[in-house]
Structure 1
Amino acid sequence: MTRVSLATESDFIGWRAWTRSLLHQHVPSREIVWNIPTQPHFHIPEKHTLPQSEASLTLSPYFRDLISAIFVSGHPQRFSLLYDLLEKLRDHPQLPKDDPSLTPLKTLALQTRQEAMALRQTLPPSLYPEMTIHRLQVPSSLLDSQAHALRALRPWPWLIQTPGRLYLYENHQLRFGLSPEDPDIISDDQQLLTYARQHTVPTHNHPYWDTILPLKLHPLPHLIQRAPSLETLRAYAADCTLCSLCQHASRTVFGEGNPSSSLLFVGEQPGDQEDRQGRPFVGPAGQLFNDALREAGGERHHYWVSNAVKHFRFTPRNGRRIHQKPDTPHIQACSPWLAAERRLLRPKVTVMLGATGASAILGRTVRVMRERSQLFSLPDGSTGLITVHPSSLLRQPDEKLRQQEIKKFISDLNLALSALA
């Protein structure tokens, strides 16, 4: 028998190296025993000495996605199942996707993707700076695969406990460690937080997640259209690849606010701070928007705030990321997200902040200064209003003119609020 030891249940690099070597040697699956630690260590596991093999298999995107879903499934026999699959693909490179032997694997992969989607909906929100603590009954390997979703929760503190692992993010530092073996040890959130601070270690300078295979959900337009809730839609959006902006932006920046609101604000796209924090309208323009809305008689958290485009488009320059206006293809690619948001919100009033937001809603070129400050009917029977984007007010060099324009902006917001009555 060949015994293979992996560093953790999420050790994709180790699993791949051993699998390549054993497949090259034609070691049958029945002669392999996969040893996985029953619990992760407090420290980041050191890299094991791995076998070197020049052999590799060329896999289609379909089989790569299938393997990634099974790898993080938590199924006790998943490594054997995957080895069996790769043996077949080695011996039958043209194995069809509808081969009957794949049915159990496809069922397991579908279940894992559904669990990942449910996990996304239960991750702690990043809206407020209070510590959020979540106890989740999910395999640690599945949570590991969602590392990019975890990173999107920054900068606010959070703690996640799974049956096998603790994840603590606090003071701009991510830490990793064991969950307590006896669930009775931790009876409340304060005890759990104290335990986590004492029994986890920093993962800075430890590329733990670099060895883990991410499970992406690849949202399709028909799934976007059928999303039953805004939280489901947010979970889908985290993996959006509908246009090229996802390649350079840090994350999807989805809308936020009161899901029962009758008032929707639609801007252009996230800026630098929004991209870093994962929230819309949190930079200088967002602060001006919040202040103006308050002056008009509203509070931001009562309403829903979003953008026509969900990824930050920018040009690198001298170490900075300079805003670049999204093109029509970007707006069109993002249109299913905005349409789904409006379908779920069913807003009574939609305020379009700037030309891009207005064009995304109306489907035509908009001249903001000519069309602003007027209530009008949208095709669905709700009310629309066009006004300037708050960032344009910040670009006004003349202080006196800026204050005049801010007053006009406040007046527009007040008009939108009055339309709710």
Structure 2
Amino acid sequence: MSEDPDRLHLLYLTLQTLRDDMPVPDQLTESLKKLAIESWKRALDLRCQMPDASNPEWQILRTSHTAALIDSQADILSNLRPTPWIVMAPDRTLLWDGQEYRFGPGFTDNELPPSEVIETAREFATAGRGNAYWDGIAPVRLHPTPGNIESSSLASLRAQAIDCQMCELCKPATRTVSGEGNPKARIIFIGEQPGDQEDLHGRPFVGPAGQLFDSALREAGGNRAEMWITNAVKHFKFIPKRNRRIHQKPDAPEIKSCTPWLATERRVLSPEVTVILGVTAASAVLGRQVTVSRERSRPIPLEDGSIGLVTVHPSYLLRLPDEESKTREYTKFVNDLRMAISTLAG
């Protein structure tokens, strides 16, 4: 999706060289690499502008990127944010209503109120996948490498992670589920992996375990909007059973594959307190086998300078067989969260 005026000429020369079974000259190779890097950066920039799904209301993204680039990112943008949005550019309108996306020409909103922008975008963006022009457009993928990841910002991490193929979990999962919250958070919570609802909604901790976590966090005096919530593994691991997807525990290679994402996320956030929810997250953060009952409820100095605190994953509480056990363990869980929050006060 380069805008270089010589791009078609360079591609023609490349095809001609390959047709004649000749080696591609180094100078031509370098020029093509520059085009690829330029396109990669433009696609990343567009993705970084897309808000996450924490606010379910319509979001309007105004950009100067070309129609060709926007068209190539339609699938990716709807995976990044499953809830409704509009991308507005000088020569393209792209609308996603949560179910399907539609293309149309660009328009100038002239500071219209959001409701009128949405209505106008609906009128302009009428071409869908049934239109032959857009039906064959291949998405431009970023194919992140550990080197790309290590130098990323939080927005760039999320934008690249949607294309992560570092382990086999990316194939059956709907999408990569990145962390969310306050980028200036002093405390972060790390769980195991997205569940069924997280995979569908593109947000961490929004299913039954997430709802229990929110309740316990409020009871402990915390505010989710002030925290950062993430997982050690960014794809949902499951086995299909009839019309359900049954959670499966990530194995060691899958946890290791996700290490660059989590390590960079923690480095960029630089929290004072890291709350580790469950054995998978504890193994990922501490780099060793962990028994939660032995490590629980005590401060652990971490290599990044933060204080770690291990506790159970909220899904453990949902699996307890009787109300007495659930009440007892829920109280202990709230106390752990309260301890983590109070650590910030010194």
TM range (shorter): over 0.9
Q: Which amino acid aligns with 2:314?
A: P
Aligned: 1:220 with 2:149: no
Aligned: 1:385 with 2:326: no
Match of 1:83 among 2, 8, 12: 12
Q: What SS does structure 1 have at the residue aligned with 2:37?
A: helix
Question: Contact 2:309 / 2:340 at 8 angstroms: preserved in 1?
Answer: yes
Question: Contact 1:139 / 1:164 at 8 angstroms: preserved in 2?
Answer: yes
Give distance in 2, aligned partners of 1:419 and 1:144: 48
1:236 Cα deviation (Å)?
2.1
Q: Which amino acid aligns with 2:182?
A: N
Q: Which amino acid aligns with 2:151?
A: R
Give distance in 2, aligned partners of 1:248 and 1:378: 34
Question: Contact 2:270 / 2:304 at 8 angstroms: preserved in 1?
Answer: no
Q: What does 1:113-124 align with in structure 2 at a 5 Å threshold?
A: 113-124=40-51
Give distance in 2, aligned partners of 1:176 and 1:233: 27
Question: Which runs of 5 or more structure 2 residues have no equivalent in the other structure?
Answer: none
- 1:325 alignment partner in structure 2: 249
Q: What does 1:307-346 align with in structure 2 at a 5 Å threshold?
A: 307-346=231-270
Give distance in 2, aligned partners of 1:290 and 1:268: 16
- 1:409 alignment partner in structure 2: 333
Q: Deviations over 1:27-80 (max 9, x none)?
A: xxxxxxxxxxxxxxxxxxxxxxxxxxxxxxxxxxxxxxxxxxxxx224556445
Q: Deviations over 1:267-305 (max 9, x none)?
A: 001111111111111111111111110011001111111
Question: Contact 1:74 / 1:142 at 8 angstroms: preserved in 2?
Answer: no
Question: Contact 1:274 / 1:281 at 8 angstroms: preserved in 2?
Answer: yes
Match of 2:207 among 274, 283, 288: 283
Aligned: 1:235 with 2:159: yes
Q: Deviations over 1:92-116 (max 9, x none)?
A: 26x35x6222332222221111111
Aligned: 1:163 with 2:90: yes
Question: Contact 1:259 / 1:345 at 8 angstroms: preserved in 2?
Answer: yes
Q: Deviations over 1:242-288 (max 9, x none)?
A: 11111221111111101101101010011111111111111111111
**C-alpha RMSD of the superposition:** 2.0
Normalising by structure 1, report the TM-score.
0.77
Question: Which runs of 5 or more structure 1 residues have no equivalent in the other structure?
Answer: 1-71
Question: Contact 2:187 / 2:271 at 8 angstroms: preserved in 1?
Answer: yes
- 1:350 alignment partner in structure 2: 274
Give distance in 2, aligned partners of 1:78 and 1:277: 38
Q: Deviations over 1:115-158 (max 9, x none)?
A: 11111111233220122111111111112222332122443221
1:201 Cα deviation (Å)?
2.3
1:375 Cα deviation (Å)?
1.6
Q: What SS does structure 2 have at the residue aligned with 1:216?
A: coil
Q: What SS does structure 2 have at the residue aligned with 1:321?
A: strand
- 1:143 alignment partner in structure 2: 70
Give distance in 1, aligned partners of 2:204 and 2:131: 31
The verdict on how the C-alpha distance between 1:207 and 1:256 changes in structure 2, with shifts beyond 3 A counting, is farther
Identity score, percent: 51
Moved more, 303-312 or 73-82: 73-82
The verdict on how the C-alpha distance between 1:209 and 1:334 changes in structure 2, with shifts beyond 3 A counting, is farther
Match of 2:121 among 167, 182, 196: 196
Give distance in 2, aligned partners of 1:179 and 1:77: 25
1:314 Cα deviation (Å)?
0.9
Give distance in 1, aligned partners of 2:28 and 2:309: 57
- 2:34 alignment partner in structure 1: 107
Give distance in 2, aligned partners of 1:385 and 1:115: 40
Give distance in 2, aligned partners of 1:115 and 1:408: 48
Q: Which amino acid aligns with 1:385?
A: L
The verdict on how the C-alpha distance between 1:200 and 1:222 changes in structure 2, with shifts beyond 3 A counting, is closer
Moved more, 321-330 or 215-224: 215-224
- 1:92 alignment partner in structure 2: 21
- 2:55 alignment partner in structure 1: 128
Normalising by structure 2, report the TM-score.
0.93
The verdict on how the C-alpha distance between 1:108 and 1:380 changes in structure 2, with shifts beyond 3 A counting, is closer
Q: What SS does structure 2 have at the residue aligned with 1:359?
A: helix
Match of 2:181 among 232, 257, 271: 257
The verdict on how the C-alpha distance between 1:171 and 1:342 changes in structure 2, with shifts beyond 3 A counting, is closer
Match of 2:136 among 182, 187, 211: 211
Q: Which amino acid aligns with 1:109?
A: A
Q: Deviations over 1:224-252 (max 9, x none)?
A: 1122x211222221221111111221111
Question: Contact 1:140 / 1:164 at 8 angstroms: preserved in 2?
Answer: yes
Q: Which amino acid aligns with 1:217?
A: L
The verdict on how the C-alpha distance between 1:216 and 1:302 changes in structure 2, with shifts beyond 3 A counting, is same
1:207 Cα deviation (Å)?
7.9
Give distance in 2, aligned partners of 1:154 and 1:107: 29
The verdict on how the C-alpha distance between 1:376 and 1:303 changes in structure 2, with shifts beyond 3 A counting, is same
Q: How many residues are paired up?
A: 344
Question: Contact 1:285 / 1:394 at 8 angstroms: preserved in 2?
Answer: yes
